[in-house]
Structure 1
Amino acid sequence: MNDMNRAVAAGCRVGIPATGPLKGSCPMLKFLILTSSALVAVALSSSARAQSTTQITKPVFCVYDGEYEPCGSMVDNDIIISATGVVEKPESTGHAITVIDRQTIEQRQAVAISDLLATTPGVTVTRNGGLGTLSTVRIRGAEGEQTLTLIDGVRVNDPSSPGGGFDFANLLSGSVERVEVLRGPNSVPWGSQAIGGVVNVVTAAPTDRFSARANAEYGSFDSVFANAGISGKAGRFSGSFNAGYLRTDGISAAASGTEPDGYRQYGGTARIGVDITDAISLDLRGYYANSRVDIDGFGFTPPFLPVDDAEYAETQEIYGYAGLNVGLGRLKNRIAFTIADINRDNFDPTFGSAPSFFARGRSERYEYQGDWRASGAIRLVAGAQRENTRFTDGSVFKSRGTTSVYGEAILTPIARLTLTGGVRYDDDSAFGGHTTFGANAVYSLSIGTTFRGSYAEGFKAPTLYQLFGPFGLGNPNLQPESARSYDVGIEQNLVGSAITISATWFHRDTRNQIDYNAATFTYGNIARTRGKGLEVGLNMRPSDRLTLSGSYSFIDSINRSPGANFGKQLARRPRQSVSASIDWETPLKLSVGATVLAVGDSFDDAGNFNRLDGYVVAGVRAELPIGNRFAIYGRVDNLFDEKYTVVRGYGTPGRAAYGGIRVKFD
């Protein structure tokens, strides 16, 4: 390995590669060498036991706005998605969507969901320090605040945060069963904020019979992570309950610091179903998380970067859903109420025990949705929603409401072709009416080739904080953000479904994008930005014991507004990223795997003055079952102790090792 590192360094010194899409990206060269080495090693290990590809059938469940419904059985590598808010099979949507299931979560031994999202095509993740610090997910180069996030059907974007975004710092994997990442604007079914895309998180649903699972691990930075859950059904009642706890000493949030900044979270999720009759059911869901993280404040001298201090932040998140489902033949009806309540407090012990800053954000949503399967070729979906949001920071209290109606048609005029179109109208109490359109198409050939294409629009009104924020930060003259996006893609299955290759080209134009202006110390509109690029995905299963996956993203995010920043890259959007994962179950039942992520250069500021060098991080993992119910596992993150920066002035974790035990009863 020392020889390899020397070779990489020598290649970078002489400018390899000097041209092409990897120009100036030594991390990409290192990524290729690391990945090639891993593939060769596994190939040599498994060559003696090559076997024909098999497809394993298993029962699956469809997702209906966060709720699972039985829908037969499909091959092991098929997925069910919810691109329109209702159950759809993958061959029925033209949207670009990636699904991360529970098997992948456990296989990767992920603690933070954002770490899994970072290896998804078209997605960039930045974190202001160690685990628990501000984590931003950007899709296709859009702002993190333009990613709409749902947990069990509840919109969880924080109305008290400056941009109204969701902080992925506190979204841990313990109770998560499934994550859907829809890339590109899609405001017709989802409403405001879905400019970059949608992240739909589904927690563990009730099962037909009793089951239980738990895991506990310990590792670097004196870290403890534990989770437990039970699920089952009795008569007309079903339920799933999960609880989790995490504690770590962490690393210094400030790159220049030496004092560790710790993180702690405890929380749980619950889902209860009641089948009142065969056609009427009640669905209750709840999510709670209480988190505390040490943070570092900014220095008082240039360049005003983070420095060690005693500041910390506490966050309480409560999300709830209550829905009544009524089936009337071909027409499914859903009436629901959702609530998201987020309390954030910052403390600086230097100035006493009272919060130095606090924010209270709350949103309440009333929904109706009708899903009518008029025939095998015609499906109509329509809905109405009312959302009330409010926030306060102690000095400012503001609220507003939005009333929305939408309709979608899902048509299958001929076999293998599905057309979807929709329109939405939002009436915002502060900005009036806005109409949004969307359409997509998908066509599959019998040879395993699928063509997809979509046109989608996005809309996002300025947040209450951006309009009326404290200390003069607010700007009541802001205009709503809007976006138009096109994408086309192709997917090819080879050797049955053992190999799947996909590629998607996209183009998005955003108008009036809102950003903080350091020159005026307030928020302002960027007249126009553009995002375009290419997403490539690869999934291989040469045998039932060996899986390989990879992705490549080229994202060109540019400021298109006249002025000093015209033509500059938007901040913290690497143009290129590559990821590869490999997992192999040995004949001794020991599973081993590795993931490599390479991220290209980017800039930390709108003027492109502060460059962030690209980097490559690699991790390895292993798991050994003990009987049918127990397993021990372990992993090493950042295997080669890479030194890198994703946000200027903030630290990143070095090499870290963890080990744990997993148990399942069903």
Structure 2
Amino acid sequence: MLKFASISLIALATATPVFAETADSERGDDIVVTASGIEQPRDEVGQAITILDAETIERRRSADVVDLLATTPGVRFSRSGSTGSVASISLRGAETTQTLVLIDGVKVNDPSGIGDGYDFGHLLTGNIDRIEVLRGSNSVVHGSQAIGGIVSLMTATPADGFAADASAEYGYSDSLNAKADVSGTTGAISGRIGGAYFRTDGISSAAVGTEKDGYKNFAGNARLKVALGDALSLDLRGYYINADLDYDSFFGAPADSADVAKLDQYVGYAGLNLGLFDGNFTNRAAVTWMRNERDYYFVRGTAPDYGYSGTNLRFEYQGVVTPASQAKLIFGYEHERPDYDFFGFGSTDSQRANIDSVYALGIVQPLAGLSLSGGVRHDDHSQFGGATTLGANANYSPNAGATNFRLSYGEGFKAPSLYQLYDASSGNTALRPERSKSYDIGIDQSLADGRALISLTAFLRNTVDQINYDNTTFTYGNIDRTRAKGVEATLGLKPVDALNVTASYSYIDARDRSGRPAFDGKRLPRRAEHAVSLSADYDWSFGLSTGATLTMVDDSFDDFANNVPLDGYALAGIRASFPVGPNFEITGRVDNLFDADYATAFNYGTYGRAAYGGVRARF
């Protein structure tokens, strides 16, 4: 059991300058997209956002996106075994289905899932160049599911001229991780294409098992942008994942089995961008498409025993009017058609819905250093009717960005999933959307000419009409309400150019407020109260780069009744890289350095100490 001393955590949060991920990643001149849907300087944003940039992702050398997210404040995760197994993210204690996930601007939450959640298990870092994590409800811009927050992942944009990058890594359990991409620009055309391949013998997903559960994953991405004129451009993006996983049966306690899961995930974006009136009126119209195909086999080599496919086709229009340099009006219309199909166990099912949405958001700077944002959104769902959400935030700096005071209020909603609405045995067409109200107050303080930054945020979120299975009616119902409150701290130090130290701490008190005697007041499952992450990287004068990350997570429970405890844990990892000539690099890392025995989901296995080595080439 790992016990956190609250005094130690508070001391870390107040005495160590921490900020998100790299010493430059949260400066006032950094640009974020997730907050308003357009590029915006950080010091205009009142919401809490963490950035994992390309340098951070490269330095950390994690194969799995979840391992990167676990080092950011407000994030709790669980994984059911070997790499590739189901992995879920909770933001600020919200349900894992209340995290909205974007890949290159496309919503990828699965309409065929029970709660429209996103399985992070198949999302590896090979093609990912940047991650933005927005914490707090933000449905005005992004619509359904943005109750806990948003995880937005982006692939790299094409390079000027020509560029190529390739790497390969091999290590524990016969694991191979390789990727390559090429990009370039010529005249009015720029493009990038990349691919990543991962395979491993894995570990036993069942904690009591002895049979390893292997995994294979191929991911490909492509971007093409064509300037059709001075103010008109075509933007095409694509992302694809093919995955093959051996997993242990979860019907009852996890145990060794021959079960296999296969996934094909398709993500596409086609957009036109038009600027009018010298760029003071910009327009974006796009069609996006996401499809998840999941097949499950009791025995490999046979026909699939059951499967799901979920598709989301969307049309988006967004306009941005800039009547003055201190004001912007963002408005838009979206049409979305989620659908799902199921087969197996002697039956089939197909369902779909239509959602039409309009929104408007204003951003003004009435005074030097003050930025105000506010907006409204209305969504009309073909089943449950309408939902209106509001949001507003402010950012004030009295000293040109050295100090930023932040305030944020956001409303969120989550539409019932197609399964929850229409399943033949448990569906309920009278379901209402889940609703939330989220409040933030924070401060960012830059010190020593930007070599240190302290960021503190306090938050509160209340969620009502939360959907859960009702054991009295044997259908889904709006029977839950929850409350989450807490504090997040990020600090960063760059005392010299060669040394970069980052850390984060978050306290999350997430509890059931449903009024049901068995659960009311209990902590929500798999949401530890305390978590700390500390990373340090040093670039030596002779070319060697070394780094280490320590992550500590408090005790939690695996169930709503708080009867199944999960002990806290501490994980340490080290990494190094060394250049060989101008274009090549040798890399190495060791995960779980001290071979900690831990679990993020009861009765599921986790990796012990594991070492990897690799090479990288850039041109």
The TM tier, using the shorter chain, reads over 0.9
Match of 1:230 among 179, 182, 196: 182
CA contact (8 A) 1:424 1:436 kept: yes
Match of 1:421 among 374, 385, 402: 374
CA contact (8 A) 1:92 1:442 kept: yes
Match of 1:442 among 387, 395, 417: 395
Which residue in 1 is equivalent to 2:88? 136
Assess, with a 3 A threshold, how the Cα gap between structure 1 residues 282 and 118 changes in structure 2: closer, same or farther. same
CA contact (8 A) 1:540 1:547 kept: yes
Which residue in 2 is equivalent to 1:106? 58
2:565 corresponds to which letter in structure 1? R
- 3-state SS of 2:427 partner: coil
> Once the 2 structures are TM-superposed, how far is the Cα of residue 518 of structure 1 from its aligned partner?
6.5
Which residue in 1 is equivalent to 2:484? 531
- Are 1:121 and 2:73 matched, yes or no? yes
> 1:49-85, CA deviations, whole angstroms, 9 ceiling, x for partnerless residues?
xxxxxx999xxxxxxxxxxxxxxxx998952101100
- Are 1:280 and 2:232 matched, yes or no? yes
Which residue in 1 is equivalent to 2:533? 579
- Distance in 2 between the 1:92 and 1:664 partners? 36
> 1:618-659, CA deviations, whole angstroms, 9 ceiling, x for partnerless residues?
000001111221110100000000000110111010000001
CA contact (8 A) 1:396 1:468 kept: no
CA contact (8 A) 1:482 1:513 kept: yes
Assess, with a 3 A threshold, how the Cα gap between structure 1 residues 171 and 298 changes in structure 2: closer, same or farther. closer
Match of 1:373 among 322, 325, 338: 322
> 1:227-283, CA deviations, whole angstroms, 9 ceiling, x for partnerless residues?
000010111111000011000000001011000001101120000000000100000
Equivalent residue pairs, number: 603
Which residue in 2 is equivalent to 1:84? 36
Match of 2:545 among 579, 583, 591: 591
> Once the 2 structures are TM-superposed, how far is the Cα of residue 286 of structure 1 from its aligned partner?
0.4
Which residue in 1 is equivalent to 2:508? 555
> Once the 2 structures are TM-superposed, how far is the Cα of residue 520 of structure 1 from its aligned partner?
6.4
1:263-412 correspondence runs (5 A): 263-298=215-250, 304-329=252-277, 330-349=280-299, 353-394=302-343, 395-412=348-365
- Distance in 1 between the 2:71 and 2:175 partners? 23
- Distance in 2 between the 1:604 and 1:523 partners? 21
CA contact (8 A) 2:158 2:183 kept: yes
CA contact (8 A) 2:92 2:135 kept: yes
CA contact (8 A) 2:246 2:259 kept: yes
1:278 corresponds to which letter in structure 2? D
- 3-state SS of 2:500 partner: strand
Assess, with a 3 A threshold, how the Cα gap between structure 1 residues 170 and 75 changes in structure 2: closer, same or farther. closer
CA contact (8 A) 1:230 1:241 kept: yes
Which residue in 2 is equivalent to 1:49? none
2:224 corresponds to which letter in structure 1? I
CA contact (8 A) 2:493 2:501 kept: yes
What TM-score comes out, normalization by structure 1 length? Answer: 0.88
- Are 1:181 and 2:133 matched, yes or no? yes
- Distance in 1 between the 2:323 and 2:542 partners? 52
1:614 corresponds to which letter in structure 2? G
CA contact (8 A) 2:526 2:558 kept: yes
Match of 1:218 among 155, 170, 195: 170
> 1:399-456, CA deviations, whole angstroms, 9 ceiling, x for partnerless residues?
0010000001000001110000000010111111111100000001217211001000
- Distance in 2 between the 1:148 and 1:103 partners? 24
1:305 corresponds to which letter in structure 2? A
> 1:547-581, CA deviations, whole angstroms, 9 ceiling, x for partnerless residues?
00001100000101111211001111111100000
> Once the 2 structures are TM-superposed, how far is the Cα of residue 355 of structure 1 from its aligned partner?
1.6
Which 5+ residue runs of structure 1 have no aligned equivalent? 1-8, 23-27, 40-54, 58-73
- Are 1:646 and 2:600 matched, yes or no? yes
- Distance in 2 between the 1:287 and 1:277 partners? 27
Assess, with a 3 A threshold, how the Cα gap between structure 1 residues 538 and 94 changes in structure 2: closer, same or farther. same
Q: Identify the structure with bigger relative contact order (alpha carbons < 8 Å, sequence gap 6+).
A: 2
Assess, with a 3 A threshold, how the Cα gap between structure 1 residues 107 and 76 changes in structure 2: closer, same or farther. farther
> Once the 2 structures are TM-superposed, how far is the Cα of residue 379 of structure 1 from its aligned partner?
0.7
CA contact (8 A) 2:144 2:412 kept: yes
- 3-state SS of 1:628 partner: coil
1:280 corresponds to which letter in structure 2? L
> Once the 2 structures are TM-superposed, how far is the Cα of residue 142 of structure 1 from its aligned partner?
0.3
CA contact (8 A) 1:253 1:261 kept: yes
- Distance in 2 between the 1:406 and 1:268 partners? 33
- Distance in 1 between the 2:586 and 2:42 partners? 34
Name whichever of 124-133 and 513-522 sits farther off.
513-522
Assess, with a 3 A threshold, how the Cα gap between structure 1 residues 603 and 524 changes in structure 2: closer, same or farther. farther
Match of 2:585 among 621, 625, 631: 631
Match of 2:438 among 443, 464, 485: 485
CA contact (8 A) 2:546 2:577 kept: yes
> Once the 2 structures are TM-superposed, how far is the Cα of residue 99 of structure 1 from its aligned partner?
0.6
1:190-229 correspondence runs (5 A): 190-229=142-181
- Distance in 1 between the 2:197 and 2:237 partners? 20
- Distance in 2 between the 1:192 and 1:528 partners? 17
> 1:158-206, CA deviations, whole angstroms, 9 ceiling, x for partnerless residues?
0001110111111111111110000010001111110010111110111
1:655 corresponds to which letter in structure 2? R
> Once the 2 structures are TM-superposed, how far is the Cα of residue 16 of structure 1 from its aligned partner?
8.8
> 1:354-410, CA deviations, whole angstroms, 9 ceiling, x for partnerless residues?
222200100100011001111011111100000011001031110001000000100
Assess, with a 3 A threshold, how the Cα gap between structure 1 residues 546 and 521 changes in structure 2: closer, same or farther. farther
- Distance in 2 between the 1:549 and 1:406 partners? 37
State the superposition RMSD in angstroms: 2.2
CA contact (8 A) 1:598 1:616 kept: yes
- Distance in 2 between the 1:618 and 1:219 partners? 17
- Distance in 2 between the 1:281 and 1:220 partners? 46
- Are 1:544 and 2:492 matched, yes or no? no
CA contact (8 A) 1:77 1:497 kept: no
- Distance in 1 between the 2:609 and 2:74 partners? 26
Assess, with a 3 A threshold, how the Cα gap between structure 1 residues 371 and 182 changes in structure 2: closer, same or farther. same
Which residue in 1 is equivalent to 2:19? none
Which 5+ residue runs of structure 2 have no aligned equivalent? 17-21
- Distance in 2 between the 1:137 and 1:56 partners? 25
CA contact (8 A) 1:79 1:99 kept: no
> 1:286-336, CA deviations, whole angstroms, 9 ceiling, x for partnerless residues?
00110011111136xxxx310000001001000000000000021000010
Task: Report the identity percentage.
Answer: 48
- Are 1:466 and 2:414 matched, yes or no? no
> Once the 2 structures are TM-superposed, how far is the Cα of residue 478 of structure 1 from its aligned partner?
2.5
- Distance in 2 between the 1:519 and 1:291 partners? 38
CA contact (8 A) 2:317 2:334 kept: yes
CA contact (8 A) 2:459 2:487 kept: yes
Which residue in 1 is equivalent to 2:408? 454
> 1:455-501, CA deviations, whole angstroms, 9 ceiling, x for partnerless residues?
0000111100112235x233333321000000100111110100001
- Distance in 2 between the 1:261 and 1:517 partners? 34
